[in-house]
């Protein structure tokens, strides 16, 4: 799945401008203005959430929602009536991406994209009161410094949206096994999320 996301995102990035140019004018004529406004507001909220601790439940759902909002932004550009303006807005970013990929440092973009699309190697959820606490573990770092990154998120049991409460990295020089991490909810401390390693408490998130 990680590889699928790694290759899917470049496809989405390049497909956006093409879809905007090809489908934008057709959508401008067929969609009602009210529909365009509503979808645009939803897409703007999704893009804004990417820069906040708020996200959809599940990493894959986040990627799908973000890709859909990105594509809709290009469709909006394609709905512009001015062909010159559409060509400039689409052409300049596309030319910039092509130039960037032609540079020797483009390899580091692949590394960064791999980090952004990496799925959790372990997900644990515990219920406490009317909320669900989810702890996701990802591989973190490179050869000099690496380990596990744990993210704690909480949500009401009925909500499709969760809020990140904390993020912490554990060096594999001290924490070598992901299966040795355990999670529990402490109802006596306001449903705090308690993370232990090999039976010893290491992190408490309220």
Same domain as 134, residue 91 = no
pLDDT in tens, 40-58: 999 999 999 988 999 988 8
Residue that terminates a domain, selected from 99, 116, 133 = 116
Residue that terminates a domain, selected from 116, 132, 147 = 116
Count of residues in the chain: 206
Query: Please, what is the average pLDDT of the chain?
Result: 84
Mean pLDDT on 20-30: 88
Contact 206, 190 (CB under 8 A): yes
**Integer Cα distance of 122 and 136 in angstroms:** 6
Mean pLDDT on 122-136: 89
Would you list the DSSP string of 82-148?
-HHHHHHHHHHHHHHHHHHHTSTTHHHHHHHHHHHTPPPSEEEEEEETTEEEEEEEEEEE-SSSEEE
- Residue 143 carries which DSSP code? S
- Note if the pTM is more than 0.85: no
Residue that terminates a domain, selected from 87, 116, 145 = 116
Same domain as 74, residue 164 = no
Q: Could you tell me the residue range of the domain that residue 10 belongs to?
A: 2-116
To which H or E segment does residue 59 belong? Answer: helix 59-78
Same domain as 64, residue 30 = yes
pLDDT in tens, 151-165: 999 999 888 999 999
Same domain as 148, residue 132 = yes
| Residues 175, 178, 181, 185, Cα dihedral to 10° | 140
| Number of folded domains that form the chain | 2
């Amino acid at each position: 799945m990680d590889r699928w996301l790694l290759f899917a995102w470049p496809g989405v990035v390049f497909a956006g401008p093409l879809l905007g140019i090809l489908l934008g004018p057709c959508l401008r004529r067929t969609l009602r203005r009210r529909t365009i406004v509503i979808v645009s507001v939803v897409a703007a909220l999704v893009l804004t959430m990417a820069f906040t601790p708020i996200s959809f439940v599940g990493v894959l759902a986040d990627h799908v929602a973000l890709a859909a909002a990105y594509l809709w932004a290009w469709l909006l550009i394609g709905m512009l009536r001015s062909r010159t303006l559409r060509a400039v807005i689409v052409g300049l970013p596309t030319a910039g991406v092509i130039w960037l990929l032609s540079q020797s440092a483009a390899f580091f973009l692949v590394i960064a994209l791999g980090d952004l699309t990496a799925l959790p190697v372990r997900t644990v959820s515990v219920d406490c009161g009317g909320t669900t606490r989810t702890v996701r573990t990802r591989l973190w770092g490179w050869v000099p410094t690496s380990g596990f990154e744990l993210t704690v998120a909480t949500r009401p049991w009925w909500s499709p949206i969760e809020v990140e409460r904390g993020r912490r990295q554990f060096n594999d020089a001290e924490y070598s096994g992901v299966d040795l991490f355990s999670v529990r909810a402490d109802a006596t401390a306001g449903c705090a999320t308690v993370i232990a390693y090999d039976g010893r408490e290491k992190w408490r998130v309220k």
